[in-house]
């Protein structure tokens, strides 16, 4: 038996509905909606706030000018704050509904990423999908542990602190396969060559060093330096930027 692993769907519901045969088991490792695609400047935020503003934000972040990017965002949204929040929420809900319709074809296990709003995500999922914030399930004979959430960055609702992530992982104990949204704190896995700021979790690396699961699947970093890296005996695998590729990883 095999199962399929995807991450960073970011609204690509049509591709998700085609990624595996109907009835397959699929693991979805967070970031189901598309706020902004750094490659194309497409997404909910450019549509609502304006593509030019978001293009400048992306350039500032890529240059490491994060304070300047925050100032630009505050200035650009100050007069329409409530309107922007409501419109973004409505568009996110529509994307969650589309992704949920795609997931209805599969037996799915879903966790969350940094852009996700957990209540919207869980309320939208079809009966064939199980949401896992933190926990262990047996899938095709493998003991699989999940710990959802993104690393602290811009204050989005799906971010969790290092302390929270450490607590999540501590409840798992040893597993054969670890599934998270974010990578461990390994430079070649955590640095995004387009997005700039690294996305890395020291608690995840600590967990891997202690328990050495056979596999660690994750996403979050859309354009990493390396997709696969070994930490001790653990194979760490970025399953890819699904919105861009339309592909996941089939295991084993």
Question: What does the domain layout of the chain look like in residue ranges?
Answer: 3-251
Model pTM above 0.85: yes
pLDDT score for 245 = 96
CATH class, domain 3-251, is alpha beta
Q: Helices (DSSP H) in 1-138: which residue ranges?
A: 13-16, 44-49, 51-62, 66-77, 81-103, 118-124
Question: Who contacts 24 (Cβ-Cβ below 8 Å, separation ≥6)?
Answer: 2, 3, 4, 106, 107
pLDDT score for 154 = 73
Q: Which residues of the chain have pLDDT under 50?
A: none
- pLDDT tens-digit series, residues 178-221: 999 999 999 999 988 876 667 899 999 999 999 999 999 999 99
């Amino acid at each position: 038996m095999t199962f399929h692993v995807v991450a960073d769907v970011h609204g690509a519901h049509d591709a998700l509905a085609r990624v595996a045969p109907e009835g397959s088991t699929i693991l979805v490792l967070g970031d189901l909606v598309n706020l902004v695609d750094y490659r194309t400047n497409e997404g909910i935020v450019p549509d609502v706030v304006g593509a030019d503003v978001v293009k400048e934000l992306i350039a500032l972040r890529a240059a490491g000018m994060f304070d300047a990017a925050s100032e630009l965002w505050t200035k650009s949204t100050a007069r329409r704050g409530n309107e922007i929040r409501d419109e973004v929420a409505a568009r996110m809900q529509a994307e969650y509904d589309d992704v949920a319709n795609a997931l209805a074809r599969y037996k799915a296990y879903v966790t969350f990423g940094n852009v996700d709003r957990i209540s919207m995500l869980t309320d939208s999922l079809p009966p064939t999908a199980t949401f896992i914030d933190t926990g262990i399930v047996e899938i095709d004979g493998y003991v699989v542990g999940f710990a959802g959430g993104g690393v602290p960055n811009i204050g989005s609702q799906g971010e969790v602190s290092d302390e929270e992530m450490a607590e999540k992982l501590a409840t798992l104990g040893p597993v054969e396969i670890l599934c998270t949204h974010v990578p461990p704190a390994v430079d070649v896995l955590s640095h995004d060559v387009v997005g700039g700021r690294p996305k890395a979790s020291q608690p995840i690396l600590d967990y891997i060093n202690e328990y050495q699961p056979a596999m660690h699947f994750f996403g979050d970093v859309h354009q990493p330096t390396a997709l696969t890296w070994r930490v001790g005996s653990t194979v760490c695998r970025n399953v890819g930027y699904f919105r861009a590729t339309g592909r996941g990883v089939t295991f084993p």
